[in-house]
Structure 1
């Protein structure tokens, strides 16, 4: 009742200010995300039209076609129209959820993306979970044993793997395993159709792609966790916890690690979209039938509608994950809420 009867001119209650600040913060972030999506749409249209190569020439290569037939095909694909008109047609289709028809596969782009997005989410999901778990564990142990042999070895290996080219690391794993694991695909054609057989075969095919993805990604989480925990170890509340008689393991588990997790949790969301888009190299090396391999196949055309569709999906994933990280950071960090 006192909030309702507050005299005019007095500052609004703190609860109202916090609510209004949260709404403004969310609207600002959502607005920035929508602007980024708009830029992605424009860039996705212009970028691939600057690529060398003619889709019609690629589609008719090795076939006896006349100039009239080539002109007819260009007209059917809409490539004979002025660039502004092509963009308006592309934008109109996008607003209707129509990404066009693939030149290469002759099916709607949305259908092809729907077929390929599952394997990508499976690969990226498993790889991210393992990379986060490994990175957090190694980062916490490295920070708590700062300067030890374990810290130096773990940090050195992480930096080395992080700087290694993804395709080179994948090819190295293929050579090192010597045919122990499949070199491509997601299942063998002769695998029985029951769920258990398919799941085991898929897991067998996932070993090398997941290892490659984890080896490249986990270092980010390890280094950020190590840095955050090293900084947290000098905090006054840890000294108080030790003074109360808590053992080092209890201090680390109950006080240091939970506070040091905040930057890493937001980093997971920030980089999840990048991992999705970065799976292109891994999927290409191991012929994993996901969006990454689909993008590579579209580049060889170039298959403009398919390239535009995969670009929007992969770049949109980065924008969505960045937005989720921004919103989550405000929820987790009281300093952001107070600002």
Structure 2
């Protein structure tokens, strides 16, 4: 590849076509993945045991004719290929169907539950990233010391704990009162019915309800960022440019902040963006344990029926968010790291 002069500035020929080709390949791969998600989202939940019509009427006696009318109403009596065709046509129009349980459009239900999930899991993800990167940097810079062993041991232990189990422990420890003493934090929901009017009281009330589920998520997922940051920084610590920086008289803290950490952050970009994709997915177990009215609790409620349109809709939205964020991570990584462009 040769350098040419264009408008007085050097330009490497072929860079733009290579970049466009790279972007086109990534976008094409994302489009194929989204198509597979649509196919999988339809057939995956058709193998679930149980009859949705019978489940919806389990609390009331119904005749066989009424069950047949209910199946016809929701298209359950149609051949599978007809149901799949209708699903694809409706999906192309942005119509995810009508929920069996709520008798409302799935798109509307997802829109209502999206905000609480983004609030809870988004806040937890930001805190987990900041905490994990800080602990990973400290652990790597003090590699082999008691600080490193302590941070690593605690992080891996919390990472291996089932999320719902940790949530139940925190719920019993800080949510349920002992004797006449009330619990420190609410045990369910997103807000209290008797909250005073006004923006500030409502914000404080929602924050009070967020503490336990947010702490549960941060405790479990921060170790992923900590271990990746620790491993990346350990690889950078033996690099020659750090020796050169120290030889120039820079202090150890300045070397770490100005040289080692920025380069070690690059491998964590993909991981951070993947978790940004799962922000929409939320945490089904945490939202269920704390009755947080988000997409996770909605998915759990849909599984109990099973509510096929609602399950399909949540699956398509959650999986698509991960694919989109993963694609953005790969494109951003090419911008941040010159070695990938080369």
Residues 79-120 of structure 1: CA distance to partner in whole angstroms, max 9, x if unpaired? 000000000011111111111111111111111000000001
Which of 53, 57, 61 is matched with 1:56 structurally? Answer: 53
Change (3 A) 1:85 1:214: same
SS at match of 1:102: coil
- Residue in structure 2 matched with residue 8 of structure 1 by the alignment: none
Which of 292, 296, 301 is matched with 1:297 structurally? Answer: 301
- Residue in structure 2 matched with residue 332 of structure 1 by the alignment: 336
Change (3 A) 1:80 1:51: same
1:21 equivalent to 2:18? Answer yes
1:265 equivalent to 2:269? Answer yes
- Residue in structure 1 matched with residue 218 of structure 2 by the alignment: 214
Q: Distance in 1 between matches of 2:104 and 2:311?
A: 14
Change (3 A) 1:326 1:176: same
Residues 192-249 of structure 1: CA distance to partner in whole angstroms, max 9, x if unpaired? 3421111000000000111111111100110111111111110101101111111101
Q: Distance in 2 between matches of 1:255 and 1:3?
A: 33
Which of 83, 88, 111 is matched with 2:85 structurally? Answer: 88
Q: Distance in 2 between matches of 1:124 and 1:21?
A: 37
Judge which range, 200-209 or 55-64, deviates more: 55-64
Please report how far the alpha carbon of residue 189 of structure 1 lies from its aligned counterpart in structure 2 after TM superposition.
Answer: 1.3
Q: Distance in 1 between matches of 2:157 and 2:340?
A: 34
Residues 270-319 of structure 1: CA distance to partner in whole angstroms, max 9, x if unpaired? 23223543511111111110000000001111111111110011111110
Q: Distance in 2 between matches of 1:202 and 1:296?
A: 22
Which of 210, 233, 247 is matched with 1:229 structurally? Answer: 233
Q: Distance in 2 between matches of 1:112 and 1:270?
A: 24
1:194 equivalent to 2:191? Answer no
Q: Distance in 1 between matches of 2:131 and 2:146?
A: 18
1:176 equivalent to 2:170? Answer no
Q: Distance in 1 between matches of 2:43 and 2:270?
A: 32
1:306 equivalent to 2:310? Answer yes
- Residue in structure 2 matched with residue 204 of structure 1 by the alignment: 208
Please report how far the alpha carbon of residue 266 of structure 1 lies from its aligned counterpart in structure 2 after TM superposition.
Answer: 2.4
Q: Distance in 1 between matches of 2:193 and 2:316?
A: 31
Change (3 A) 1:87 1:193: farther
Please report how far the alpha carbon of residue 29 of structure 1 lies from its aligned counterpart in structure 2 after TM superposition.
Answer: 0.7
- Residue in structure 2 matched with residue 10 of structure 1 by the alignment: none
Please report how far the alpha carbon of residue 3 of structure 1 lies from its aligned counterpart in structure 2 after TM superposition.
Answer: 5.6
Please report how far the alpha carbon of residue 15 of structure 1 lies from its aligned counterpart in structure 2 after TM superposition.
Answer: 3.2
Structure 2: state its 5+ residue gaps: 177-182
Structure 1: state its 5+ residue gaps: 5-12
Judge which range, 61-70 or 110-119, deviates more: 61-70
Which of 246, 253, 259 is matched with 1:255 structurally? Answer: 259
Q: Distance in 2 between matches of 1:70 and 1:112?
A: 25
1:316 equivalent to 2:320? Answer yes
Q: Distance in 2 between matches of 1:87 and 1:292?
A: 25
**TM (normalized to structure 2)?**
0.94
- Residue in structure 2 matched with residue 77 of structure 1 by the alignment: 74
Whether contact under 8 Å (2:282, 2:295) holds in the other structure is: no
Coordinate RMSD, CA, aligned = 1.5
SS at match of 1:184: coil
Q: Distance in 2 between matches of 1:62 and 1:143?
A: 59
- Residue in structure 1 matched with residue 179 of structure 2 by the alignment: none
Q: Distance in 2 between matches of 1:266 and 1:86?
A: 37
- Residue in structure 2 matched with residue 124 of structure 1 by the alignment: 121
